[in-house]
Structure 1
Amino acid sequence: MTAQVDAPLVDSHLHIYTRDMPIADGAWHHPGEDASIERCLAMLDANGVTFGVISAASIYGTYNDYVRAALKKHKRLRATLMPDLDWDIRILEQYRDEGFLGIRLLWRPKETTPDINSEPYRRILRRCADLGWHVHLTERPERIAHTIAAIENAGANVVLDHMVLIDTDEGVNDPGFKAALAAMDRGKTWVKMSGGFRFKKPGLADQVARELVAAGGWDRVMWASDWPFAGFEHKVTYAETLAKLAEWVPDPAMRHCITGRTPLRFFFT
């Protein structure tokens, strides 16, 4: 019965790549094995997951070619991309028509970030809004409120990674986490329930999950595996991410929203 309630499952954040792709300067991670589209689809099928959203792998920069080929071949997939700020609207429209639906700003590893209020960023954020795209954001807690506000002001939606990943002493009381909850309440921000294994402070991921479910479990939270678990390869299994979700969201009806209804509306309509 539970499987019927949960279906169809949407994995809202996973990666595909091969090690022979051109890695970006300053990449934070160098994979030890391929995460091919064939492995990815086999993993989804083995776990009863129907749809997948490929998150742009920042370690490969703006090389979106492998993901683009996967989208053309497999209609059960959508994706975000790492943008080149010099692309004009015609290039972005072509990406949209091929199944891309947003850009990724992975700014959490950066000690200093670009000026999101600069003309090039104002332009691409507005183009995201015009295309109906979202901005997939990974940011540090002390900067997240400012970055979300700039994206909102441009008219684009925001999707936050890994339960906001506010891995600080303040935890759920951190101003950055409170800012994320407030953004969810304003109606243009969603959060991915993923990456609990990335939290360093014991028990914090569980606390964050409870807060997010209480704040937006019916319409602002989406489940994701984060496969192939970059930096944690062979320490996490796909099945464990689904089991953790069931622990965080014991209500089958709400779990159906988080794994199916909400991501289907957001990514596939």
Structure 2
Amino acid sequence: MTNPGAKLIAVLMPVITGLAVLNATAAYAGEGFTRADTHTHAWVNCYDASKSGGGADTSACAPAPRRYTPEGVLPFDKLQSEWRKNGIDYGVLVQVSFMGTDNSYIVDLVKKHDHLRGVLVLTNADGSLDEASFDDHILQRYHDIGIRGIRLNLQGQKPEQLAAINAAMDMETGTPGFRKLWKFMRDHDWHIEAQQGGEQWVGLIATLLKTNCRIVVDHFSRPDKKLNLNDPGWKAVLKAGESGRVWMKVSGSYRLGVSEEIMTEYARQAREHFGINRLLWGSDYPYTGCKNMPTACEDSEDYALLFKRLETWFPSKTEQRAILQDNPAEVFGFPLTKN
């Protein structure tokens, strides 16, 4: 027998959800500033669900060895839906590691949508520069459509590999390809977005500062979970924040693996050393680092919850305006008006 109550709920749920979205959008509009999510991912044609009985398509994945292959895809329309539900006006697409240097999906999306900016990957899995994939003319075309940085994803590299990468990136003695890239980036106000963790930041941040490019530190720098606030890499990043040339993304908080209390202290120290004008926020949707699956965190990591965490760390509207509007406008060139 059909439950009439359940049937009524099924009919009303789309209406209730729609009203909630409208109310949220109205509330955000009343804040008087725009909202930018500066760290999200989207991809197609790279997944492998064979272990769970599904299909697979690795045609667009980076060549092996990859750190992992996701079990599903995350097309842009799903990301866009999440933004709309949460009152996001502008967004940044960051290339995921398992797609390697095939940035075509991000480039096409940024070209089509004025409210998007992009951060590309130009380095191979071993950290070497994929010089065959770009030149100054290609970089200029990227800039003209809204690309504003490159990403160095150095998680999981062995110490000897990191030493070689640091040497190659050195502004004075590094490879000609990197030095040429740094010059273009300085001339066009692009930034180097780096993901690394723990004490490896000590050497990396010193190398990056020498480039004189803008630097963006991903996900609170991902301190060592055992050392937490005492991690020497965290301390090195905080010191670099005082230079005024480094921004930090207070994003990916679920990656930290610490209590809310310690998370809040990370945020407080970031504000103290970087200043409110050097902080950016990103959802890191769809949480690809959780169990190496694009949807694994969605039950425990809710977009609205992540945003609420930001409001807890930075309760004043002045702080939120800086993090969500003014700072993204400076780094990514977003307008200061609602999209």
TM-score (structure 2 length as normaliser): 0.74
- CA gap 1:2/1:250 in 2 versus in 1, 3 angstroms: farther
Match of 1:224 in 2: 282
Asked if 1:50 is matched to 2:70, the reply is no
Asked if 1:12 is matched to 2:50, the reply is no
The residue matched to 1:206 in structure 2 has which SS?
Answer: helix
- Determine if contact 1:6/1:255 at 8 Å carries over to the other structure: no
- Determine if contact 2:199/2:234 at 8 Å carries over to the other structure: no
- Determine if contact 1:213/1:249 at 8 Å carries over to the other structure: no
Which of 80, 85, 106 is the equivalent residue of 2:131?
A: 85
- Determine if contact 1:29/1:230 at 8 Å carries over to the other structure: no
Match of 1:247 in 2: 312
Match of 1:202 in 2: 259
Which of 127, 132, 139 is the equivalent residue of 2:184?
A: 127
The residue matched to 2:68 in structure 1 has which SS?
Answer: coil
Partners of 1:205 and 1:161 in 2: CA distance? 15
- More moved, 131-140 vs 13-22: 13-22
Amino acid in structure 2 at the alignment position of 1:103: I
Match of 1:101 in 2: 148
Aligned-residue offset at 1:266: 1.5
Partners of 2:326 and 2:218 in 1: CA distance? 19
Aligned-residue offset at 1:7: 3.1
Amino acid in structure 1 at the alignment position of 2:131: L
Q: Where do 4+ consecutive residues of structure 1 move more than 6 Å?
A: none
- Determine if contact 2:117/2:148 at 8 Å carries over to the other structure: yes
Q: CA offsets, 1:126-166, max 9 Å, x none?
A: 33223321000012332223222222222211000011111
- Determine if contact 1:6/1:260 at 8 Å carries over to the other structure: no
Q: Unpaired runs of 5+ in structure 2?
A: 1-25, 47-56, 123-129, 335-339
Amino acid in structure 1 at the alignment position of 2:311: A
The residue matched to 2:194 in structure 1 has which SS?
Answer: strand
The residue matched to 2:152 in structure 1 has which SS?
Answer: strand
- Determine if contact 1:192/1:223 at 8 Å carries over to the other structure: yes
TM-score (structure 1 length as normaliser): 0.92
Aligned-residue offset at 1:6: 6.5
Partners of 2:275 and 2:302 in 1: CA distance? 24
- Determine if contact 1:12/1:223 at 8 Å carries over to the other structure: yes
Amino acid in structure 2 at the alignment position of 1:202: S
Amino acid in structure 1 at the alignment position of 2:184: R
Partners of 2:206 and 2:148 in 1: CA distance? 20
Larger of the two Rg values belongs to structure: 2
Higher RCO structure, 1 or 2 (CA under 8 Å, sep 6+): 1
- CA gap 1:14/1:71 in 2 versus in 1, 3 angstroms: same
Aligned-residue offset at 1:2: 7.2
Partners of 1:29 and 1:206 in 2: CA distance? 30
The residue matched to 1:186 in structure 2 has which SS?
Answer: coil
- Determine if contact 1:11/1:259 at 8 Å carries over to the other structure: yes
- CA gap 1:57/1:5 in 2 versus in 1, 3 angstroms: same
Q: CA offsets, 1:63-98, max 9 Å, x none?
A: 111111101111100011011234321121111112
- CA gap 1:110/1:263 in 2 versus in 1, 3 angstroms: same
Aligned counterparts, 1:18-167, within 5 A: 18=44, 19=46, 20=57, 22-24=60-62, 25-83=64-122, 84-86=130-132, 87-111=134-158, 112-113=161-162, 114=165, 115=167, 116-117=169-170, 118-119=174-175, 120-167=177-224
Aligned counterparts, 1:165-184, within 5 A: 165-184=222-241
- More moved, 73-82 vs 16-25: 16-25
Q: How many residue pairs align between the two structures?
A: 269
Partners of 1:218 and 1:200 in 2: CA distance? 24
Partners of 1:146 and 1:191 in 2: CA distance? 17
